[in-house]
Structure 1
Amino acid sequence: MNPVHGGEGSGTALRLQEHTSMTQDGEEGTKSLVTGGEASADVLMTQLCPLRLEEVVTKNALYMMACRSTAQATSEENPSEACGTIRQDVGEKEDKVQPALEMVALNDWKKLKELGKDVSGPGQKTNSFHSQKLMVVKQIVKHIKSLPQDSLDSHSSAVRCQGMQLITDCSKAKPPLEGKEKLDVVIVCVASIFALPSIEALQRQEGHKVNVKDLYNQTVDALEVMLRALLSEKPNPAELQNFLDHLAPWMTSEKAHERARAVITSVCLLQAAAESPQFCMSHKFPRLGLLIGRLALRVGDPEKEIGRQAMEGLYFLYSLMWCQKEPERKMGSVTAVLHQMPQKILGIYKPTRTCENISEIVKRFGQFLSPDQMADLLLTAVESLKEASESTIEASKTILNVILEKYKQKIQMEVVPKIVDRIHSQLRAIHHSHARQVVMMALCLLAHAFLEEVSTALLKCPLPLDRDAAGMWRTLAKTEAICHSHRLLDVLLKELQERPSTSEDRAFIIPLAAASALCEVLSVSMCTQAVTRFYPRLLMALLVQVHYTIGLSLPDSGVSRKELIPACCVVKTVKTLLLKMGCHYEFTAVEKEGGWELLTSSEEHHRGVGLLARAMVHYSCCQLWRILYLLVPFLERGDKQHKLTAMAFFVELLHMPQAKRLPEKYSVLRLLKGLTDPDPVIRALCVKGLITMADWPGKEIKVLVPAMINSLCGVDGRLVVEALADVKKILRGLDVASYVGCITSLLRLLFDDERVSVRSAAISLFGKMVKKVKKTQGLMKEEDVLDSLIPLLLHLQEGNPDLAEKCKNALDECSRVLEWRLPKQVGNGKAWHNHQEDVDEICQYLVKKHQENVQKFLFQSQCYLSSTQPSLRRAAAMFIALAGLLHDPEASVCIFAAQAHDRVLAIYWKLKYGLVEQHKVNSDSAEKHKSPPNPPATEGTSSRLCNALNLWKLAAKH
């Protein structure tokens, strides 16, 4: 008895022993079965005669197969009838098998024999012989492939046996089979046998007609002989690994009989390698980790016999590795001592304690494995978790535990991303909850030693994160929280502080992926303490990252869903962070004001940041003072987006009481420096910040007013009114009228902004300023107020009720400062073109009250004649009559220009000739349509424009 199998025998062990004895018979067994002669394998092709071949194909092999299939069924019952039954069965089977093999065995093989008579030298005959040989092999493979895979009888068994025996002979003829031809042979022959139903199922199909077990065993014998022969062509670890790889899919089958067949055949090949003197161990196994993993997992198979056979295979494999480690040991003469050595080292198979077996296997084989092979072993264990078997899950868990606890130093950092990527891809196919727990356990153990590499690999997962990637991040977060470690947040924060790349590589994705990963980490309740520590830096990094990602899109992403817009993804993380820190009121306030949409707009981003900061200040958000002191160095570095986001947040935090403790170089001087920044938004924000500090004790802000106003020149009007929103703070304690004048001059420029919101804000702010300084006449010059009268009067006629209300309030404040009362017609809200008498009253009042400023009023009105708004041109025409407006493209402007022209003349004659009541002129229809004589034209004037100007001048004199 072979020492490998020990003392106790079993059905499977007996099969393996039969394989061993067949191997010991070697080539002689094959010759007696196939050729029936003494010829060697090398001269087989040249010396076979047609008669002998026919005996091989149609008589000897068939007779042997028939004998084996029928003798057992009849000999016990009636030995005397056995011989006759065999002959009759052979005749029937021969008729069935002959047509199937006739083409291969007789025609093609005869041609091959003729070509093989002289192939000793190179030349065309050798090439032709090899071509014919490949053709024969292909025909054999084709016949085997066509056999049914759901039944087994003497006919199909004979075809398989003879076909594989012929392939075995072909393999002995030079040159050997290689490449695709050999691959097809192995795949087809293995599948043809392994895919058959179990022996019990086959026997039930055939009943007592044939002995299926013997037929199956004979077929397997032929397969193993063929595989040994094919392996002998290149007896090295790489070729052995190649054969074993073709058996691997069957080793993970859900069907126990298929797993058993694959394991038994694998053990047969390993035994052949271990006992072959020609097997060269100078080469290394290319994927030794995979092979160890496959066999170790089968040690934990719920079928004990499969586990026992897998353990036998590991004994042979360990012998091979031991011989490779110690080259002085010779292969071939495998002694009982060499067989007993791996048993002592790896241990005896224990069906009830397979995890101990597997643990010892991994520990002992670990010394032979390279880093790549160790990674292969780990990945093999991970991939096996797709099986739903609890025994397989426990076996995988054992392998992973041993590797990640005992041999993690053998895992190179360069291999970690591959492992993480494979874990992520395998999770999609793992549905068993226990198996998923094992995978996550492996991820955590791996991250414990290689957190940065694991995190970096996870950041390369496709966006948006799928369920598996999100689960991996949450698992890492829980593990870090349990260990009271902050390493994970450190890694994510580092990536969030990077600017996304605009190139086509995945560097663009990394910061965005870090934001998505952080969102998952924040969802873990156990991480609150760590998040609190990182809160200020995380918040500012996310806000800057929002600014970076505005306008960017995911590469090759054809979807337009909001969650796939990079800026929206980062904003989602900002929301999650605020809620994690308990900022519910702040969250609601920003949402109510549309702040989240502002954050994702390139023009409005700073406003969204400011809105968030104001809400946090208003509700005294926790940790806000830490954010303030973080921003002190934060403003000194970074690019445009970085500085702009930081400044927008910083100027709002100046409303905090703690901000008054900032040294002047970090507050006043920093903002003063920002007044010269090339970015107009930065300049406007600095002005806003300086105004906020105007009432701080010890801060001389009033002297900075000219510089602040100069910095706003050319700045967008909306930014100006936002910057000057708290301008009343500047007015406290100011005693120089020029300061106020430069502010009001700037605001007057915005009265005519094309945006209604800017016009309205500027007029409202102007009115508040006038109201603030009305009691101190020295702060505002009268001419500053008078310069605003005509613009305010004309904007009353825009047709916007809100704007008209703000104009009315501003005019009221102006009249109080000037200590005179405007006509009541100014505030009645009536449209001038429908109530021309109101215009008459206002014009008469202005001419009478401020005759010295009539020229100024005239020129101010002229400016509005080129306005883009018809309502303003029409209102201006009510004050002056110009010939050019009689041809205005707007019909109403032409009409009211003509009417205004008549009214100017009417006022002129009234003042010149002392007419008492203007309504008398209006009541006389004849006089109403009759124009008074024009005054004499002055030199150099030839147009009605000059006439109108002269009329205003004459009116002013009177």
Structure 2
Amino acid sequence: MAGRRFSLIRLFRRKKEEESPGAAPAQQPEEVQQVQPPQEDAGQERTEEQLRARGRFRRAAQLVCRFIRCIWHEEATFMATGATANSDLFNAQTSAALLDLLVENGVYKAKQVSSLWPGLQSPRDAVVPATVRCIHQWLMSNVSDEHRLDNTLVLLTKAHPTDVAVTLLRSAPACDRAARTMWKTLISSRWTKEPVLQILFPVLEYWPAHRRRTSDGDERDVFALAATVALWEILQLSHSWCPGGVKDNFPRLLLTLLFQVFISTEEMSEEVETFWRRCQEQRSLPPNPNRFAVQTVKALLRQLLDEDVLMAIGRKCGWDMLLKADSHHYAVGLLARELCRVSRSFGRRIAVSLLPRLSRGEPLWELPALAFLVEVLHCLNPRQYGPSVLQIISRHLRSQCPERRRLALRGLVVLSRDPAMAKSMRSLSESLLELLQDADTDAVQMTLSAFINILRFQIVKISSPIALKLLEALRPLFDNIRLCAPHHGH
């Protein structure tokens, strides 16, 4: 590892040289397994190698055992007293060297590590989460040397990415200074950034919490907001570059964050409020989770868009409208229009990600999702995606919600401009006739536009009964036009 070797590691190597003259300097995992804690049973036989280890190595062996026990039990006074930085156990040099020693020599996967955790059923599985917590605690106590354990953390994460990421989310949900250092290390390494992001993304999507079991048997909920805080910190750390995993998953992340804004505005469970209150106690975070989610949306967009685009959305009150349940879908539509102006490919990628959600008929965020889809329809290839879109839109034509009907008609007007799609709309004639009697003038106007587009291509032949119904529906409209027209004396 980079940096100077500490006295403990020199002592460890000196012991090996004394026991095996001429041996290669490489460390062997089996030798680490020889480090045994003092046994409660005084009559237990000591091996010949343990007897030879007495002397200068005895103190180091006892220190390792005390250190590992402390990892597992996680003494409550560690963070409370703030005095551990100068203790024998957590001396900056000694404790960092011990962590290096444990991870570099594969103690977390050693077959005989059970002797270090008497009484545990599966102690080997408990080592990785415990080591992650210990690295976090060490960083909290050693501000000036925060990158000392970077290689150790990367090595551990390469072998166990889920354990490391989920344990970090549980241990530091508010993403304190030490956690920020750890996330930065993981995202900066080419070995760990993609696996860690792929673990983070599913946690973001489960609202309010996702149960992700770690190898130590921990099944506590991992809150989506904890992953949002981690993502926000990652985006802040990478202001000059965008991690490949973030860029590749931009549509998925944007839709997930917009849903978080909506759901945390619409309803807030007691467990989410309690969780967020704890986070606020640790850090200066916005009072409401929806405001923090909006901040994260902005941070994500800054990775791919100019600041001018965000300012344009702000001038049109888009960010404020996102925070209100009754105007959220308007803001989502505004955001979609701005994205399409910058890049049609952005709009197309997000629309493709939206289609499965809308096809499943998820009721909570269906109106905002429909608003986004309508704004980006012109970015899609109608021959490729038109049938799926038409199926979604037709479901909303008879909705009891006027806003959904209006959005569905807007989408229908766009689709009807394509000859192939106009032919597919023949089955919607009855629904469109009913909408001509709608009291909403805008809805009637869009319905007529769709009919005109369908007839213009002369592809769809309207049956005689439908034509008669269309004339009956249009007659009141012409009467209204005649009554409202200016009177010129003839």
Task: Give the TM-score band, short-chain normalised.
Answer: 0.5 to 0.7
| 1:537 pairs with 2:252 | yes
The answer to whether the 8 A contact 2:232-2:299 is kept is yes
C-alpha separation between the residues in 2 aligned to 1:427 and 1:634?
41
| 1:516 pairs with 2:229 | yes
Aligned AA (2:310): F
Deviations 1:479-515 (A, max 9, x none): 3xx226411211121012112169xxx9887111211
The answer to whether the 8 A contact 2:169-2:227 is kept is yes
1:585–1:495 distance in 2 versus 1, CA, 3 Å: same
Match of 2:324 in 1: 601
C-alpha separation between the residues in 1 aligned to 2:83 and 2:285?
38
Match of 1:625 in 2: 348
| 1:471 pairs with 2:188 | no
1:328–1:592 distance in 2 versus 1, CA, 3 Å: closer
1:741–1:578 distance in 2 versus 1, CA, 3 Å: farther
The answer to whether the 8 A contact 2:203-2:224 is kept is yes
Query: How many angstroms does 1:654 deviate by?
Result: 0.7
C-alpha separation between the residues in 1 aligned to 2:404 and 2:308?
28
The answer to whether the 8 A contact 1:691-1:727 is kept is no
Q: Unaligned stretches of 5+ in structure 2?
A: 1-6, 13-33, 111-122, 211-218, 457-466
Deviations 1:345-393 (A, max 9, x none): 46x75xxxxxxx69x956x998xx799748459999999972399x943
What SS does the corresponding residue of 1:492 show, helix, strand or coil? helix
Match of 2:431 in 1: 707
The answer to whether the 8 A contact 1:500-1:548 is kept is no
Match of 1:690 in 2: 412
1:416–1:539 distance in 2 versus 1, CA, 3 Å: same
Query: How many angstroms does 1:647 deviate by?
Result: 1.9
1:319–1:634 distance in 2 versus 1, CA, 3 Å: closer
| 1:784 pairs with 2:480 | yes
- Share of identical aligned residues, percent? 23
1:708–1:619 distance in 2 versus 1, CA, 3 Å: farther
The answer to whether the 8 A contact 2:438-2:444 is kept is no
The answer to whether the 8 A contact 2:340-2:347 is kept is yes
What SS does the corresponding residue of 1:655 show, helix, strand or coil? helix
Matches within 5 A, 1:118-517: 321=38, 327=44, 344-345=52-53, 349=56, 361=60, 373=69, 375-376=71-72, 386-387=85-86, 392-406=91-105, 407-410=107-110, 412-414=124-126, 416-421=128-133, 423-425=135-137, 427-431=139-143, 433-434=144-145, 436-460=146-170, 464-479=174-189, 482-483=190-191, 485-500=193-208, 510-517=223-230
Match of 2:461 in 1: none
C-alpha separation between the residues in 1 aligned to 2:307 and 2:433?
38
1:784–1:445 distance in 2 versus 1, CA, 3 Å: same
Aligned AA (2:274): P
Q: Unaligned stretches of 5+ in structure 1?
A: 1-294, 301-316, 331-337, 350-356, 746-779, 790-813, 822-848, 851-958
C-alpha separation between the residues in 1 aligned to 2:468 and 2:309?
41
1:696–1:403 distance in 2 versus 1, CA, 3 Å: same
Query: How many angstroms does 1:422 deviate by?
Result: 5.0
C-alpha separation between the residues in 1 aligned to 2:340 and 2:37?
73
Q: Say which one has the larger Rg.
A: 1
Match of 2:335 in 1: 612
C-alpha separation between the residues in 1 aligned to 2:140 and 2:471?
69
Match of 1:572 in 2: 295
Query: How many angstroms does 1:554 deviate by?
Result: 2.6
Match of 2:397 in 1: 675
Query: How many angstroms does 1:421 deviate by?
Result: 4.4
The answer to whether the 8 A contact 1:417-1:457 is kept is yes
C-alpha separation between the residues in 1 aligned to 2:220 and 2:449?
49
Aligned AA (2:256): A
| 1:554 pairs with 2:277 | no
1:742–1:619 distance in 2 versus 1, CA, 3 Å: farther
The answer to whether the 8 A contact 1:683-1:711 is kept is no
Match of 2:30 in 1: none
Aligned AA (1:518): L
Match of 2:215 in 1: none
The answer to whether the 8 A contact 2:436-2:447 is kept is no
Aligned AA (1:402): L
Deviations 1:821-861 (A, max 9, x none): 3xxxxxxxxxxxxxxxxxxxxxxxxxxx59xxxxxxxxxxx
C-alpha separation between the residues in 1 aligned to 2:96 and 2:285?
40
1:600–1:416 distance in 2 versus 1, CA, 3 Å: farther
The answer to whether the 8 A contact 2:412-2:450 is kept is no
1:712–1:516 distance in 2 versus 1, CA, 3 Å: farther
Query: How many angstroms does 1:613 deviate by?
Result: 0.9
1:417–1:547 distance in 2 versus 1, CA, 3 Å: farther
Matches within 5 A, 1:109-124: none
TM-score, normalized by length of structure 1? Answer: 0.37
1:740–1:467 distance in 2 versus 1, CA, 3 Å: farther
Higher relative contact order (CA 8 A, sep 6+): 2
Query: How many angstroms does 1:668 deviate by?
Result: 2.0
C-alpha separation between the residues in 2 aligned to 1:723 and 1:371?
75
Query: How many angstroms does 1:683 deviate by?
Result: 3.0
Match of 2:370 in 1: 647
Deviations 1:420-469 (A, max 9, x none): 445445544433x22x2235554444333332223223323566543333
Deviations 1:507-539 (A, max 9, x none): 887111211111112232455322121112111
Query: How many angstroms does 1:606 deviate by?
Result: 1.3
Matches within 5 A, 1:852-891: none
Deviates more, 1:596-605 or 1:461-470: 461-470
Aligned AA (1:409): K
Aligned AA (1:608): A
Aligned AA (1:582): L
Aligned AA (2:323): T
1:499–1:721 distance in 2 versus 1, CA, 3 Å: farther
Query: How many angstroms does 1:611 deviate by?
Result: 0.9
Query: How many angstroms does 1:785 deviate by?
Result: 1.4
Match of 1:10 in 2: none
C-alpha separation between the residues in 2 aligned to 1:743 and 1:604?
33
The answer to whether the 8 A contact 2:432-2:447 is kept is no
What SS does the corresponding residue of 2:147 show, helix, strand or coil? helix
Query: How many angstroms does 1:702 deviate by?
Result: 8.1
Aligned AA (2:142): I
C-alpha separation between the residues in 2 aligned to 1:740 and 1:588?
49
Deviations 1:915-943 (A, max 9, x none): xxxxxxxxxxxxxxxxxxxxxxxxxxxxx
C-alpha separation between the residues in 2 aligned to 1:455 and 1:328?
41
Query: How many angstroms does 1:729 deviate by?
Result: 6.2
1:476–1:599 distance in 2 versus 1, CA, 3 Å: same
Aligned AA (2:94): A
TM-score, normalized by length of structure 2? Answer: 0.68
The answer to whether the 8 A contact 1:586-1:612 is kept is no
C-alpha separation between the residues in 2 aligned to 1:669 and 1:743?
26
C-alpha separation between the residues in 2 aligned to 1:706 and 1:646?
26
Number of corresponding residues: 416
C-alpha separation between the residues in 2 aligned to 1:492 and 1:527?
16
Structure 1 counterpart of 2:309, from 554, 567, 586: 586
